[in-house]
Structure 1
Amino acid sequence: MATQNNDTVFIPLENVESEHCALIVDKGLSQVKGVQSHKVELNNHRAVITVDDDA
């Protein structure tokens, strides 16, 4: 059985105040190698990212 080496990272997002800006951040995160999942939390002004430590 394979083990998963994942970490969750919380990145503060300053000046991201609109849904449009959040979508731009979301699109950029989707293109980063090693990012397994991501979510932009506009109301908390942060991005929650799960990264693969082996990537």
Structure 2
Amino acid sequence: MKYDHIFDALSIAVLRPRLSWRGVVSAFAIDLGGKFAAGIVFGLGVAVGFALAG
């Protein structure tokens, strides 16, 4: 069969992922953006709570 070796290539790719600078930087940027968005949402919640409290 011509598809005998497809799982060999997939297992090698899973075992030994390639790390590139673009992947590392994008993961860092996504993490930083998520933390920033969570901080903004938390801050707005506190501000609204203080405004409602008086």
When normalised by structure 1's length, the TM-score is 0.29
- Specify which structure has the higher proportion of helix: 2
- Specify which structure has the higher proportion of strand: 1
When normalised by structure 2's length, the TM-score is 0.30
Which protein is bigger by CA-based radius of gyration?
2
Return the structure number with greater relative CO, CA threshold 8 A, min gap 6: 1
